[in-house]
Structure 1
Amino acid sequence: MNEKEKAGSQYYLMGFFGILLLFSGLYWGLNQQQESLSQELTSDHSKVYAQDSETFLDRVRFVSNRDGVVDIAVLGSSVTRGLGATLEKPVWGKRLEQELSQREGIRTTVWNQGFNGYSTTDLVVQGKIQETIDLNPDIVLFELCLINNNRFPQNDLSHTKEELIAIMNRFREELPETLVVLTTANPTVYNEVYLNDGVLTYKQYNEEIAAFVRNQEWPFIDIFTLMNEKIQALDFNIEDYLDDAVHPNGDGYQMWFELIDERLNTPLSEL
């Protein structure tokens, strides 16, 4: 290789390394900018959380901005699964996914962890709590399965409370950054009925568990009470919102979703 060729080769190498350094610098700068944005989001969100003013929508926006998508698991019984729902008026979890995904800057995936006929005992024994944990959701909406806890045979209240504490402890230990919001289910035709060997009506069972949950200061939406009040205010009957004696119809699931939707901007401590 002559001197001219050597010089040309050196200039080529210098140019190549210069371009490489330029791209490395750009990558580092973008990475630092992203880390700075992530830290800013974390800082801002932590401030809101610390002030006890965080809302469900705050958490959704925070995670969606941070990760690009927010994963939500809805956990519970057949009224979470969607028995009685229609294509036009789907189950409340699906409606929530549709509503959130229409909002600017939010991408949402909702995993349906509703299981027909399950009580809280079934969720634990059949491994559905662990199955939900393994999904690693950002948010869990936990319908408490009280329709089935109240049925044949009726679960003892103290046992249900112990199970709820155990389940919440597992969520806290294995999903420490996940928001868990608890909810009761819809009213049924059995609101005021003592079922076989039952010592409480479905309404009494809900009231006892709702008081217990609030005493634990867990984020909580009392769908049972809210739906009862709204149906009465509209001067309708519970049966108008049921597909059968227990499961909501499309209108019932739509009302359930609307009650959640009305509270998306409510501080979690005030639900």
Structure 2
Amino acid sequence: MKRRERSGKFNRCCSLVMFFLAGAAGAGFAQAPPAGVPPAPVPAAVAIARPSAAEVRTAERALARFLETADPEIRELDRKYPGLVSVRVPPPNSATVPYLAPFFQQKHQANLEVARKGESDVLFMGDSITDFWRNADGMFAGKPVQDKYFGDLKVANFGIAGDTTQGVLYRLQNGEGRGFKPRAVMLMIGTNNTGRNSAAEIAEGVGAVVLELQKDFPEAKILLLAIFPRGAADDPVRGTIAEINAVISRLHDGERVHYLDIGQKFLDAEGNIPKDVMSDALHPTGKGYEIWAEAVNETLRKLMK
């Protein structure tokens, strides 16, 4: 009877410790961030609750006391497999640690040249979905639409295909956030973090980017777009994106940050993405860019006043 009680106590103790220290960090741990690089600051509105060093020590002491009175079988397992029964702290969130993959450096350097000219009054920041605004032809041709809706504006497109929140952080901190003063920034980032980070971690990454933009461009208004839907209607990534968007929507303050979700405009009545809108269920076609431009044009221009 005592053995069952102690075993139950052990299970409850471990469950509480793991929930407190790991569960709050999201569904799973992501890839390790670069060693020695500190994470960027994160707005409180999207921050993941993490234990302090003092709280970790308290949990470790509690676990040590438990092991002193645990069943011999449990103590033997702890001796045989060091670390099996332990307090595990969530690792740093890679989505908030500035890092740019080496093969993006060429595009980063090109963006730096644009920044140094100091002539842009609108900044488009993001990944391939933003990058392809510059495509003059092909399946994902955004340039004709940009010329139609924003041709009178001096647009700096700093989208890089394949980029992530940590890549944008690196780029801003290494020159793309200096040299010019945009009146408005249109930001969408995070879809490439899915599969690598949890929804909560990605939301932190987006929040870190917003903070960096506010620091770099204190006079600019930020149009923060919800991450666009992707995949089939029943694809699990849809749920992940919905979670991210629900969190980053808290960054809206109606003054410097303006959150806008236009995702539904890309879907049909059944929640699917028509082929003529996103042929690969991810990147907008010319028609998709038309939908996007029509949805943000008025808001973006108001923010520039």
The TM-score bracket by the shorter chain reads 0.5 to 0.7
For residues 172 and 215 of structure 2, the distance between their equivalents in structure 1, rounded to whole angstroms, comes to: 16
For residues 267 and 236 of structure 1, the distance between their equivalents in structure 2, rounded to whole angstroms, comes to: 31
In the alignment, which residue of structure 1 is the partner of 2:129? Answer: 79
Could you tell me whether the CA contact under 8 Å between 1:83 and 1:248 is conserved in 2? no
- CA distance 1:237–1:73, shift in 2 (3 Å): closer
In the alignment, which residue of structure 2 is the partner of 1:211? Answer: 246
- CA distance 1:129–1:188, shift in 2 (3 Å): farther
- Higher RCO, 1 vs 2 (CA within 8 Å, ≥6 residues apart): 1
- AA aligned opposite 1:260: V
Q: Say if 2:229 is the partner of 1:187.
A: yes
- AA aligned opposite 1:140: V
- Residue from 218, 235, 258 that aligns with 1:176: 218
- CA distance 1:129–1:141, shift in 2 (3 Å): farther
Query: What is the 5 A alignment of 1:21-170?
Result: 71-82=121-132, 86-87=136-137, 90-91=141-142, 95-96=145-146, 98-101=148-151, 107-125=152-170, 127-128=171-172, 130-134=174-178, 135-146=180-191, 148-150=192-194, 153-170=195-212
- AA aligned opposite 1:113: F
- CA distance 1:239–1:256, shift in 2 (3 Å): same
Could you tell me whether the CA contact under 8 Å between 2:227 and 2:245 is conserved in 1? no
More helix by share: 1
Instruction: Give 5+ residue unaligned stretches, structure 1.
Output: 1-68, 102-106, 194-200
Could you tell me whether the CA contact under 8 Å between 1:97 and 1:109 is conserved in 2? no
For residues 203 and 260 of structure 2, the distance between their equivalents in structure 1, rounded to whole angstroms, comes to: 17
For residues 231 and 204 of structure 2, the distance between their equivalents in structure 1, rounded to whole angstroms, comes to: 27
Q: CA deviation at 1:180?
A: 1.0
- CA distance 1:131–1:202, shift in 2 (3 Å): farther
For residues 161 and 188 of structure 1, the distance between their equivalents in structure 2, rounded to whole angstroms, comes to: 17
Identity value in percent: 21
The two structures have a TM-score, normalised by structure 1, of 0.55
- CA distance 1:186–1:159, shift in 2 (3 Å): closer
Q: Say if 2:266 is the partner of 1:227.
A: yes
Q: CA deviation at 1:132?
A: 3.2
Aligned residues: 180
Structure of greater Rg: 1
Could you tell me whether the CA contact under 8 Å between 1:72 and 1:140 is conserved in 2? yes
Secondary structure at the aligned position of 2:269 is classed as: helix
Point out the more displaced range, 259-268 or 219-228.
259-268
Q: CA deviation at 1:183?
A: 0.9
Q: CA deviation at 1:140?
A: 0.8
RMSD between aligned residues: 3.3
- CA distance 1:267–1:72, shift in 2 (3 Å): closer
The two structures have a TM-score, normalised by structure 2, of 0.50
